Structures are given as structure tokens and as C-alpha cells.
Amino acid sequence: MGNRVILLIMVIHLASIHCREDTPDSDPFVAAWDQAEQIAANIELPRIPDRLIKITDLGALADGQTDCLPAIRRAIDSCFVQGGGTVWIPAGTYFVQGPIHLKSRINLHLAKNATLRFSTNPSHYLPVVRTRWEGVDCYNYSPLIYAYQQEDIAITGSGTLDGQADTTNWWPWSNSRQYGWRPGELAQGDTMSRPRLYDWNTREVPVEERQLGEGAYLRPNFIQPFACTRVLIDSVTIRNSPMWVIHPCLSEQVVVRHARIISHGPNSDGCDPESCRNVLIEHCYFDTGDDCIALKSGRNQDGRRANKPIENVVIRDCRMKDGHGGVVIGSEVSGGARNIYAEDCQMDSPNLDRALRIKTNRIRGGTVENLFFRDIKVGEVREAVIRVNLHYPIYSDPNQEYIPIVRNIYLEGVESSRSTYGLLIEGYDEAHPVQGIYLKDCRLNGVTQGNKIEFAEDLQFKNSLLNGAPL
């Protein structure tokens, strides 16, 4: 298309679009980023006592074969009964035959050149624990590292956590040939697995009756603090997760920083805070098989019942490589999302589909509002720089109707070099448009098919260009 700007505004049932210049007094960014700084500054780090126990002092062998889980559990228990402390993993490779369950005031620290390699035998992650799977509450295989209703927990150090997931163990459960599944094999799409879980959600079956685990083929997350307060994940490298990598759920005061997340399996989202409040994600690297960062708040009935939005989230100075989306809100966002800030991030890969994305549908419901993005540098993305989709695939009970509200999306200083679309916006219908999209000082270049905007109102563009021409 060369430098031609193709604005696909006249589409079937297109809502009216109002574009206008804002005035200096109406600039929404001044107060917003002050608020982001205040949120980040007020997040409390875990309070860990100055006590250290090395797992090698309790019998752990760094031979990559001997099960070190008993030594790790003894170290955690010993620290806990003394009021807390650091469980130290010295340099070396350790095999862990099952999940690590953290307790309050415990820091699991991996020294430089330390690696924990986790078993890929599903039976090692039983008995089941209280968890959320794709936004639905249930009892399922334990995450590889898990904490439930704990305070002041941390995973730190420059070592590596390796889930060892690949096409020979966890990943074929995804029902995808790409990841090793073959026709006739049982997997998460089987009627006893994902469909059953979604049906329990629709019928609001009590969570205690939603027992999964063996025979259900629903993969565990790698790290899940569930209903925890003051959580820190700092500097570790995390590889080859069965599914979502870092999944704080129903937790508060969460910091993820300097982490390297490399996992190209199915549903290998990098960091998915769900129904959390006061979250800081900074200085991280994401190279994933799904969304790099996805902010969530529960699926359908479970999200509405809990009524816990994902809110007060600050993302800064992160690098996104491969993945379905860079910073994403949804699709399990029935509890809502608000006060989301992302700045100084770099996104660039032909295998990254979208840079900034909101995905939901008429079953999810929820209100997504007050999203602020600035100084985002986007090299190449496959589809769109900004993607808002209120028609994301449903997958479960199509007879419900909870049409979502999406409003107040602000972008400043977003630059991109290559994409199919600049803005790809799909509101629900004329009565339920996306409301309020504000672009200031944005430069969207190398856009081959312009913008495609359906059912949106109150668009404001200031000093923003698409392929060199004013938006």
C-alpha cells in the first residue's frame, strides 16, 4: 500500500466517530501519571526476617536427579516455625519432585547458577489445591510453586526455575497438534475437563464440589500466590511452564521485577495478575507462547460473584518479544479492570500479534476503564498496535448476556514501525460502543491497512500521525 493511508471507517453498522482536538486544560495525563507513581510507591514489599537456611544443609544434592523437595520443605518449615527467613538454593542443579508450597515470611532464594528443575509427572502435583483455572474457581493440580492465604512471600535471586514442560508431557493436554497432541488422546477439551469446569461455573456449583486433578487434563500454572498479601518475585529466570507462568490471584501488594520469562508452550502467558490490587511489574523480559502480560478478573459467574477487579496496576520498563499480545486486558475480565498504567516498554517481533489489547465479549461483562499507556516503542507487530475486541470467542454458555463496558483509553507517545492496522477497534453494537479513546503525540508508521474502527465514540487525536498523516 506504500504510504497510502487507508481508513476503514465506513464498515457495516459503523457507529458515529467524534474526533476533536483537546484543550490544554483537558489533558488527562498530568494527574494520571502522578497517580501511577503514588500507587507504585505505596506498594509494600514482603517483610522477611534475617534468617537463612541452605537446603544443602538439610540433605539436598545438586546432582539434577535426587529429589530435593523433602529438603526444601524441611527448610521452609524450619524457617516458618522460627518466624520466617530465607530458604537458600546454592549454585547447582536440583530436581524437585512435586510442588513447593510457600508459607508466610518465607523467601525462596536461588543463588547465581542455581536451577530448580521440576518433575513433569502430574501425579506429583496431587493432592489438589484451591486454584483458578482460566478464571474459574476449582480444585486442581497444585501449581509448581504455590501459596494460599499467606503473607510476606518472595521468590528471589538470579537462578532459574525450569518447569521442563514440552511436547512430551504437559503441553499435549492443550488439544493442539502443534504442541504434541494427537487425535484420540485425552486432553483439556475432553468433556470431563474444560467443558465440565465451565459448566460448573455457569450453574454456580459450590467451589468445594469442583474437584479436578487426575483425569481432568487441566495443566497447572507455574507460580500462583492465591489470596496472598505482599508478594515479591525478583530477578529469577522462569522457563518452560505447563501453562500460565506467573499468576497472582486475589492477592494484594504484588511486585514482579527483573524477571526473565521464556516459555513457548500453549497458553504460556508470562504474567497474569487476576483480581489483584496494587501490582507493580517492572524491568521484566517476556518471550512467550501467549500474552506477555494479561490482566484478568475472573470468568463469567465466578468473576461476577467475587466482584474483585484487577486494579491499580503499574507496568514499566518491560521488554516484550514473542507472544499474542504485549499488554493485554482480558479475556477473563468479568470482575472488571481499572486504573492500569503502562510506560517505557519495548515490543518488537514478527511473532508478536498485538502491542496493546483489550479482549472480552457479551458473556464476560465487566467494566474496563481508565487505561493509560505512554512512551511505548513498538517495532513490528503482526496485526495491530491497539486492538479492542468486544467479540472475543465465547467458548462457554452462549445463552448469557452481560455486555461489557470499555471506556477511557489514553495513549501518549506510542510509536510503531510496522503493523497491519494502527487502531483495530470493535465495539459491541451501536448501543454499546467503546467510549473514549485519546491519542496524543503518537506515531504509527508502516501501517499497511490503516485503521478499522467499528462502534466507537468520542475519539480524540492530538498531534498524532498514521503513516505521516494526521489521524
Active site residues: 290, 324
The torsion angles phi and psi of 373, rounded to 5 degrees, stand at: -130, 135
CA triple 31-32-38, angle to 5 deg? 90
- Rounded to whole angstroms, how far apart are CA atoms 180 and 325? 23
Which residues fall within 8 angstroms of residue 28, CB to CB, at 6 or more apart?
372, 410, 438
CA triple 3-7-11, angle to 5 deg? 150
The torsion angles phi and psi of 327, rounded to 5 degrees, stand at: -115, 120
3-state SS assignment for residue 199 = helix
The grid coordinates listed for 208 are: 468445594
Which residues fall within 8 angstroms of residue 34, CB to CB, at 6 or more apart?
none
Is residue 321 within 8 Å of 285, Cβ to Cβ? yes
Helical residues (DSSP H) of 217-369, grouped into ranges: 300-306
3-state SS assignment for residue 360 = coil
Nearest in space to 153 (alpha carbons), one of 246, 254, 77, 73: 254
Nearest in space to 33 (alpha carbons), one of 247, 315, 274, 402: 315
Nearest in space to 72 (alpha carbons), one of 17, 18, 109: 109
The torsion angles phi and psi of 457, rounded to 5 degrees, stand at: -140, 155
Q: What is the pairing mode between strands 293-295 and 277-282?
A: unpaired
Handedness of CA 340, 345, 327, 163 (dihedral sign): negative
Report the Cα–Cα distance between both ends of the chain, in Å, rounded: 17
